[in-house]
Amino acid sequence: MIITLDDDRQLHALERQQNTIAAMLEHTDHDTRVILKELYFKRYPQYTMGGLAQQHLIYCSRASGFRKRDAFVEELSKNLGMYVAER
C-alpha cells in the first residue's frame, strides 16, 4: 500500500492528537479520569454524571463533575490549537 504525503500528514496529526490526549489524561485528577472514561470512552456507559456522584465513583458533586469535564475539554482544545468560543 502506498501512503501519500497527505496521508502521512493526517497520520502525524492523529498521532499528535492521541499523544496530547494521553498525556493530559495521565496528568489529570482521578475524578476527571473516571468521568471521561465512563461517559466518553466506554462503548456502553453505565452511569450518568449524577450516577457517578451518587455511587461515589467520583468524590465530588454532579455540578463539580461537569466543571471538571468542561475544564479538561477547554484545556485539551487549547493544547490541540482549536478555537474555544467564549461563553
Structural domain boundaries enclosing 55: 5-79
Q: What is the pTM of this model?
A: 0.81
- What are the DSSP E strand ranges found in the chain? none
Grid cell digits, residue 36? 471521561
Q: Are 39 and 16 in contact (CB under 8 A)?
A: no
Rounded percentage of the chain residues whose pLDDT exceeds 90: 75
- Residue at 57 is within a domain: yes
Q: What is the pLDDT of residue 9?
A: 81
Distance CA 64, CA 20 (A): 24
pLDDT digits (tens, 9 = 90+) for 62-81: 999 999 999 999 999 999 98
- State the amino acid at position 50 in one-letter form: G
Domain count, the chain: 1
- Residue at 48 is within a domain: yes
